[in-house]
Structure 1
């Protein structure tokens, strides 16, 4: 489990003309948006509003991490495999040859990215895909 820095997903909102002052928490995961505003006045001051926002954000992240894992999604132009983090890749060499792979990608920590490819020529299309799905599942920590 990663620990967010103090300001991750938290923004200060000050709109003096309309009397709005507080902290806004906004995040998006799996296409769903989460957000909550913590007004200085209702929370008992700027510092307490920030602490409540930070606490709410941390609980939300914890809940979302418990639900995390390799997801199956609808096939689209951006995702032809139907599995998040798994894609088919074609590499063209300078001699004109093409190499086909199934690739798994994941982020083990913020700012880090991991990738592994499985050759269709070596494993066959179906097996290379399965290996990529398993690698992705293990990479995001979903070992059965």
Structure 2
């Protein structure tokens, strides 16, 4: 059966002992499924018609179930991190004229699917101050995103591991 919007959520099963159309839907981690056997419905086409009717009914039922909110995963540590502060890295930027500039880059995700970043020049601020500014900005942004007690919760989470 070629894939089409008309047959979305319906698969054909043809094995040694089973022949029919399989309808499947998902909501909040649960799978809702049902097989429409060719034998039970008399033919392939009648089984497909019944499967489509069930699929449409299931679609309405699943739409009525509210989706659970997705929880954002908080990364506690990363073995590749060399600065000791997650989201802060020492990098070299190359300008359009070919000059190389050392800096500390800071990145954070204000919302799912969006990444923000900025950097602090080591030449302008010096090694220690550039790193300090980068860490302060990262921590400020994480508190804005996750709440004022973010680092307290994070240290508790690390202790429990």
For normalisation by structure 1, the TM-score amounts to 0.54
Q: Give 1 or 2: higher helix fraction.
A: 2
Gaps in structure 1 of 5+ consecutive residues: 1-11, 26-35
1: CA distance between counterparts of 2:67 and 2:59? 14
Aligned-partner SS, 1:55: coil
Aligned to 1:122: 124
Aligned residues, how many? 110
Aligned to 2:26: 23
Greater relative CO, 1 or 2 (CA 8 Å, sep 6+): 1
Larger Rg: 2
2: CA distance between counterparts of 1:130 and 1:143? 21
How far the C-alpha of 1:24 sits from its partner, in A, is: 5.7
**Structure 1 residue 55 and structure 2 residue 67: aligned?**
yes
How far the C-alpha of 1:103 sits from its partner, in A, is: 1.0
Gaps in structure 2 of 5+ consecutive residues: 1-7, 14-20, 35-56, 149-161
Distance 1:137-1:114 versus aligned 2 partners, 3 A rule? same
For normalisation by structure 2, the TM-score amounts to 0.49
**Alignment map for 1:1-144 (pairs within 5 Å):** 13-17=9-13, 19-23=22-26, 36-39=29-32, 45-52=58-65, 54-56=66-68, 58=69, 61=70, 64-65=71-72, 68=74, 71-76=75-80, 79-93=81-95, 97-110=99-112, 112-140=114-142, 141=144, 142=146, 144=148
RMSD over aligned CA atoms reads 3.3
